[in-house]
Amino acid sequence: ELRLSDRVLSIKPSPTLAVTNRAAELKAAGKDIIGLGAGEPDFDTPEHIKAAAIKAIQEGFTKYTAVDGTAGLKKAIIAKFKRDNGLDYQANQILVSCGGKQSFFNLALAFLNKGDEVIIPAPYWVSYPDMVLIADATPVCIECPQSQNYKITPAQLEAAITPKTKLLVLNSPSNPTGMVYSKDELLAIADVLRKHPHVWVATDDMYEHIIWTKEPFVNIVTVAPDLYDRALVLNGVSKAYAMTGWRIGYAAGPAKVIGAMKNVQSQSTSNPTSVSQVAAQAALDGDQDVLKPMVAAFKERHDYVVSALNQIAGVSCSPADGAFYAFANVEGAIAKMGLKNDLEFSEVLLNTVGVAVVPGSAFGLDGHMRISYATSLKVLEDAIGRIKKAIEG
Ligand code: PLP
C-alpha cells in the first residue's frame, strides 16, 4: 500500500492555483468563464528588463551562478533596500531565491522546529500556514475581521504569544485584502514584540510598490530599527515589475539565518535561473517610472471594483490601500442565497454565471471572496455585472 509522508498529508495544494486551473479547464471546454482567481499582473514585463535577459542569453550567461545570487543582483538588492527603505545590508545578509515563495519556504525550513508556533494574521497569503506545516511547526492563525480592516491588533498579538512563539508573519500591502499597516499600527506591534524578545518577525513586502497611501511605504523594521536583529524582510520582483514567470524573490536579515536559508536552497534548487537574475537586476537598477502606469491602472480598477461591489445587496467591500485584490464580505449574500459558506458561494458563481473567485476561507476567513482585479476594466465590469445577477437574481 502506498504510504505518503505525514508531511505531505498535512498540506493542501494552493487553493488560488486550484481555482485558476478549474477556470482554465472550463474555458478549454468551451464555457464562457471569467477568471478572477490568479494573483498575477496582466501587464507585460517592461521591455528593458526583457532586453537585459535576451542579451544575457546571447552572451552565454547560462550557467550555474552562486547559490545565493549573482554579485550584481545582490548589489542591486542592497541598493534597493537603501534607496526605498533606508535599510543597510551586507552581501551575506541577502539570499536570492526562485520567487518569494521559495524565500518563505527556505525561512520555514531553516528557522522552525517541531513545536514552534508561528503567528499568522488571517486572512493570510495561502502558503504561509502550509509551509509552516511542512516545516513541522505550528501555524497559529488569528482571525482579523473586516471591522479592524483585516489587520492584527496589538492586543490580539499579545494574547497569541506563548513561550513557544518563534515568528510573527506580517504582509503589507496584504494578499488577499490589499490592506496596508500604517506607521502607527506597526509601532504598536513593535511595542508588543519588544516585550517578547524571543519572537522574531518576517515582513513580506511583495506588494511594496503597488500602493496608493498618502504616506510612503514602511515596514516593521523601518519603523522599529531596534528589531533589525530579529527581522527578516522578504520581497521580490514578481508583482511590481510584472515578472511572475521569471521566479525571482529575495530575503534579507541576520547573516546566520540567511546563511542557513542558503544551505536549504543549496540542497534543493541551487541558484535561481541565471537569466532571470540578470532581468531582476535590470528591474531594480533601471528606471522606476515603469511602475507608475501599472500602479495607476491598479488604483483605477480598485476604485471601480470596490464601489461596484458595494452596490450589490449583501456585499460589503472595504477600500484597500494597495496590491490588486478586492476582498469582499459576502456574508449577507450567502444568507440571501441560502448557502452554507463562501466555498458554496464561489462554486455557485462559477457554475451559474461563470465567474471564478477565491473563497475567503482559502485565506483563513470565511464569509468572503477575493477578486483579483489584475485584468481590464471591461472584463471587471462584465464580471461584476454577472456577480450581481447571481446574487440578486
Ligand atoms: N508573498 C505574497 C504575499 C504573495 O501574494 C505572493 C504571490 O502570490 C508571494 C509572496 C510569492 O510570489 P512569487 O511569485 O515571487 O513566488
- What whole-number distance in Å separates Cα of residue 221 and Cα of residue 203? 8
Q: Any long-range contacts for 377-380 (C-beta under 8 Å, 24+ apart)?
A: 377/300, 377/301, 377/304, 379/34, 380/301, 380/304, 380/305, 380/308
* More reliable by pLDDT, 64 or 12: 64
Give me 181's grid cell: 499597516
- What whole-number distance in Å separates Cα of residue 108 and Cα of residue 53? 31
On average, the pLDDT of the chain sits at 96
- Distance (angstroms) between ligand 1 centre and the Cα of 104 equals 9
CATH number (3.40.640.10, 2.40.50.90, 3.40.50.970, 3.90.10.10) of 61-286 reads 3.40.640.10
Mutate to test the pocket of ligand 1, among 40, 120, 175, 233 (most ligand atoms within 8 A of CB): 175
- Distance (angstroms) between ligand 1 centre and the Cα of 37 equals 14
Q: Quick one: what percent of the chain has pLDDT higher than 90?
A: 92
Report pLDDT for 97: 98
DSSP 236-295: ESTTTTT-GGG--EEEE--HHHHHHHHHHHHTTT-SPPHHHHHHHHHHHHS-GGGHHHHH
Q: Is the pLDDT of residue 12 over 90?
A: no
Ligand 1 touching residue 372 (CB < 6 A):
no
pLDDT tens string 79-119: 999 999 999 999 999 999 999 999 999 999 999 999 999 99
Atom of ligand 1 nearest to the CA of 104: 10
- What whole-number distance in Å separates Cα of residue 64 and Cα of residue 11? 32
Ligand 1 touching residue 101 (CB < 6 A):
yes
Tell me the pLDDT band of 23, cut-offs 50, 70 and 90.
confident
377-392 vs 291-310: helix axis angle to the nearest 10? 20
Q: In what order do the strands lie in the sheet with 231-236?
A: 94-97, 249-252, 231-236, 200-204, 165-171, 117-122, 138-143
- Distance (angstroms) between ligand 1 centre and the Cα of 256 equals 24
- What whole-number distance in Å separates Cα of residue 361 and Cα of residue 367? 7
Domain boundaries, the chain: 6-44+290-392, 61-286
Report pLDDT for 14: 75
CATH number (3.40.50.10260, 3.55.40.20, 3.90.1150.10, 3.10.20.600) of 6-44+290-392 reads 3.90.1150.10
In 3D, which of 292, 356, 393 has the Cα closest to residue 38? 356
- Distance (angstroms) between ligand 1 centre and the Cα of 206 equals 6
- What whole-number distance in Å separates Cα of residue 181 and Cα of residue 334? 29
pLDDT tens string 108-164: 999 999 999 999 999 999 999 999 999 999 999 999 999 999 999 999 999 999 999
Report pLDDT for 276: 98
- What whole-number distance in Å separates Cα of residue 345 and Cα of residue 359? 8
- Distance (angstroms) between ligand 1 centre and the Cα of 100 equals 5
- What whole-number distance in Å separates Cα of residue 271 and Cα of residue 279? 14
Report pLDDT for 16: 72
- What whole-number distance in Å separates Cα of residue 374 and Cα of residue 35? 10
- Distance (angstroms) between ligand 1 centre and the Cα of 392 equals 34
Report pLDDT for 281: 98
Ligand 1 touching residue 37 (CB < 6 A):
no
Ligand 1 touching residue 100 (CB < 6 A):
yes
Report pLDDT for 39: 86
Mean pLDDT (whole number) for 49-67: 98
- Which residue has 521559495 as its cell numbers? 102
Same fold, 6-44+290-392 and 61-286: no
Report pLDDT for 373: 96
Tell me the pLDDT band of 393, cut-offs 50, 70 and 90.
confident
Atom of ligand 1 nearest to the CA of 238: 15
pLDDT tens string 191-247: 999 999 999 999 999 999 999 999 999 999 999 999 999 999 999 999 999 999 999
Ligand 1 touching residue 178 (CB < 6 A):
no
Ligand 1 touching residue 125 (CB < 6 A):
yes
Atom of ligand 1 nearest to the CA of 323: 5
- Distance (angstroms) between ligand 1 centre and the Cα of 12 equals 17
- Distance (angstroms) between ligand 1 centre and the Cα of 344 equals 26
Give the global pTM. Answer: 0.96
